[in-house]
Amino acid sequence: MRVVHNWISGVQAPTSDHLDDTNPATSQVIARIPRSQASDVHAAVVAAREGARVWSRTPASERAIALRRIADALEARLDELAALESQDQGKPVSLARKVDIPRAIANFRFFASALEQETLASTRMADAINYEARKPIGIVGLITPWNLPLYLLSWKVAPALAMGNAIVAKPSELTPLTADALAGICADILPAGVFNLVHGLGPECGQAIVEHPEIKAISFTGGTATGRRVAATAAPMFKKLSLELGGKNSTLVFADADFDQAVAGAVRAGFANQGEICLCGSRLLVQRSIYDRFVEAFTAGVQALKVGDPAHPDTDIGALNSLAHRDKVEGYLSLARDEGGTVVGGERSPGPGAFLNPAVVTGLEPTCRTATEEIFGPVVTVHPFDDEDQAIAIANGTEYGLAASVWTSDLGCAHRVGEALDVGMVWVNTWLHRDLRVPFGGVKNSGVGREGGRWSMAFYSENKNICVKLGDRR
């Protein structure tokens, strides 16, 4: 049984109360983690004060070196971390090894380079020069969810460190293990107090981070309902806030798309990571002329996905993140039937784990609850459309606005639809094809703000303008 502690001031800090951490594929308790309270968060903030003082004075070139050392340390333990992530989250170890951990490594290397390459603007007046300067915020709070644990934690930690901040971070209580490993790596590389990790429940530990007066910025990724609570606390305190929330993303397939490419793309978009990615394409919109043929091919592709032991190299779909989450997803399958849908798949697998076969749902109105609420599991609803306008109207017909993918061979259609969709990110003839320089984030109930590249650099720093009056001619 692994015993996980908080990491405060570069050392493990035990706490009195604990929570069990379970492997969702076996329902076995694999670790005990702290159930931290406000006092633990405050201890982390006290450590972060000293961390912020030292780190903000550390030259950018040295900060970049530290980020690269963290990346190297993660890379050296890639297989171990992939196995840990898979055991903790339920995802196939092949996915963790190919995506989650390599992306965490890339996050640190990317922001080390971004920091070294950054130049700031100056603006010339007739009798003065303005120049921009960046300052660290000080102590930032990072709160992350259970679907892509190290991928998303590193996405926030790397730029926060690059910009000279100290951190108080809280991973999801459901997936604490790779965060614990990262904290141990940081303890060996960063000055004491720069990276502090506290584990615990959202309403107790997470809330304490959001409301701590010395934590001046919050970057949160999680559900929309929780994001609303985080914003309600942080906004009156005038904290910088970045919210990456839920999604109910459409995959739009036009009749002129490359059929096989679109089928494969729609299957991947719908079911990667068990459908537990905020960017997953959980609403499949198909032009009517190819609808029947596409549904048949798509369903065959979904049924060919191998559901099973996340540790097995051939597994495509592992366990959902918890039995409770599986119950939530099953609740939506029942709702789908109640709303008149036909469900193919969605059966439980025998055994103690939170396994669920992927489900394809047809026959639903695109405005029904199943087709507009975030399920966050291996469930895709399929809907026909006649033309671009109808496809855009259906795709924009949810409270979310995170992402979409458009499959067509007509560039005009791709641009018109891409521009008309009320989302933060559109992929054309691909999905989840990511360059770390581009902005990431959503609109409507999918969140506030953008992170990624220069957007992250700006979020995790305070921009200052200094205007220097030039002396009169002599």
Catalytic residues, by residue number, are 244, 278
When asked if residue 88 is in the footprint of ligand TXE (CB under 6 A), the reply is no
**Which structure tokens are listed for 109?**
């290397």
Nearer to ligand TXE, 38 or 295 (CB): 38
**Which structure tokens are listed for 430?**
């691909």
When asked if residue 85 is in the footprint of ligand TXE (CB under 6 A), the reply is no
Among 10, 90, 145, 346, binds ligand TXE (CB under 6 A): 145
Terminal CA-to-CA distance of the chain, rounded, Å? 78
Segment contacting ligand TXE (CB under 6 A): 79-87, 239-247, 294-302, 391-399? 239-247
Map residue 52 onto helix, strand or coil: helix
Q: What stretch of H or E contains 239? A: none
Nearer to ligand TXE, 21 or 244 (CB): 244
H helix intervals, 146-279: 149-162, 177-189, 207-211, 224-234, 259-271
When asked if residue 445 is in the footprint of ligand TXE (CB under 6 A), the reply is no
25: nearest Cα among 287, 256, 318: 318
When asked if residue 36 is in the footprint of ligand TXE (CB under 6 A), the reply is no
Nearer to ligand TXE, 147 or 398 (CB): 147
When asked if residue 275 is in the footprint of ligand TXE (CB under 6 A), the reply is no
When asked if residue 212 is in the footprint of ligand TXE (CB under 6 A), the reply is no
Nearer to ligand TXE, 88 or 374 (CB): 374
**Which structure tokens are listed for 253?**
């397939």
Footprint on residues 296-315 left by ligand TXE (CB under 6 A): none
- Nearest residue to ligand TXE, by Cβ distance, number only: 202
When asked if residue 457 is in the footprint of ligand TXE (CB under 6 A), the reply is no
Nearer to ligand TXE, 145 or 301 (CB): 145
Map residue 426 onto helix, strand or coil: strand
In whole angstroms, the minimum distance from the beta carbon of 232 to ligand TXE comes to: 9
What is the C-alpha R_g of the chain?
A: 23
Segment contacting ligand TXE (CB under 6 A): 68-76, 82-90, 143-151, 423-431? 143-151
Q: What stretch of H or E contains 117? A: helix 101-117
Nearer to ligand TXE, 106 or 279 (CB): 279
Nearer to ligand TXE, 55 or 440 (CB): 440
Q: Long-range contacts of range 229-234, CB-CB < 8 Å, 24 or more positions apart?
A: 230/143, 230/206, 231/448, 233/207, 234/210
Task: Give 3-state DSSP helix, strand, coil % of the chain, rounded to 5.
Answer: 40, 25, 35
Footprint on residues 148-207 left by ligand TXE (CB under 6 A): 170, 172-173, 202-203, 206-207
Nearer to ligand TXE, 244 or 309 (CB): 244
C-alpha pair distances (Å), 293 with each of 296, 319, 406: 5, 30, 18
Q: What is the 3-state secondary structure (H, E, C) of 313-350?
A: CCCCECCCCCHHHHHHHHHHHHHHHHCCCEEEECCECC
| Euclidean distance between CA atoms 474 and 467, whole angstroms | 21
- Please compute, for residue 154, the number of CA atoms within 13 A of its CA located in the half-sphere on the CB side: 30
Among 111, 355, 376, 440, binds ligand TXE (CB under 6 A): 376
Q: How many residues bind ligand TXE (CB under 6 A)?
A: 25
Among 149, 176, 246, 275, binds ligand TXE (CB under 6 A): 246
When asked if residue 332 is in the footprint of ligand TXE (CB under 6 A), the reply is no
Footprint on residues 408-427 left by ligand TXE (CB under 6 A): none
In whole angstroms, the minimum distance from the beta carbon of 274 to ligand TXE comes to: 12
Residue type, 246: G
Footprint on residues 342-371 left by ligand TXE (CB under 6 A): none
Angle at CA of residue 58, ends 54 and 62, nearest 5°: 135
In whole angstroms, the minimum distance from the beta carbon of 230 to ligand TXE comes to: 5
Residue type, 135: K
When asked if residue 40 is in the footprint of ligand TXE (CB under 6 A), the reply is no
Q: How many CB atoms lie within 10 A of CB 363?
A: 14
When asked if residue 245 is in the footprint of ligand TXE (CB under 6 A), the reply is yes
**Which structure tokens are listed for 117?**
């390459």
Interface ranges with ligand TXE (CB under 6 A):
143-147, 170, 172-173, 202-203, 206-207, 210, 221-223, 226, 229-230, 244-246, 278, 374, 376
